[in-house]
């Protein structure tokens, strides 16, 4: 999800999202700062793909993936509940 010419992941993701969730990508970059200041050049996206699937781009480094998975584990149950019609509980 960086700036390398061959990295087209965000562009591919953007084509299928029906709703972007920018806060998730922002949090991935924020938490990544604990490992490297380079996390701010991530172009990763997060959002919803119809019919209610959460898609999150993670950076390529194993450390970034580990911290990113932690974010997803925290928020995915709520997002998926909301997509299934749940209330804000």
Question: DSSP 3-state assignment of 75?
Answer: helix
Q: What is the mean pLDDT of the chain?
A: 94
DSSP 30-49: HHHTTT-GGGGG----EEEE
Q: What is the pLDDT of residues 45-73, one digit of tens each?
A: 999 998 899 999 998 888 889 999 999 99
Q: Would the pTM of this model clear 0.85, i.e. be above it?
A: yes
Kindly tell me if the per-residue pLDDT of 75 is higher than 80: yes
| CA pair distance 38, 2, nearest whole angstrom | 9
Kindly tell me if the per-residue pLDDT of 89 is higher than 70: no
Q: What is the pLDDT of residues 33-44, one digit of tens each?
A: 988 899 999 999
């Amino acid at each position: 999800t960086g700036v390398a010419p061959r990295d087209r992941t965000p562009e591919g993701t953007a084509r299928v999202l029906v709703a972007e969730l920018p806060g998730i990508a922002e949090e991935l970059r924020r938490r990544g700062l604990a490992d490297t200041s380079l996390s701010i050049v991530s172009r990763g996206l997060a959002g919803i793909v119809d019919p209610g699937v959460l898609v999150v781009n993670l950076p390529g480094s194993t450390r970034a993936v580990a911290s990113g998975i932690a974010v997803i584990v925290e928020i995915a149950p709520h997002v998926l509940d909301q997509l299934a019609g749940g209330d804000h509980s």
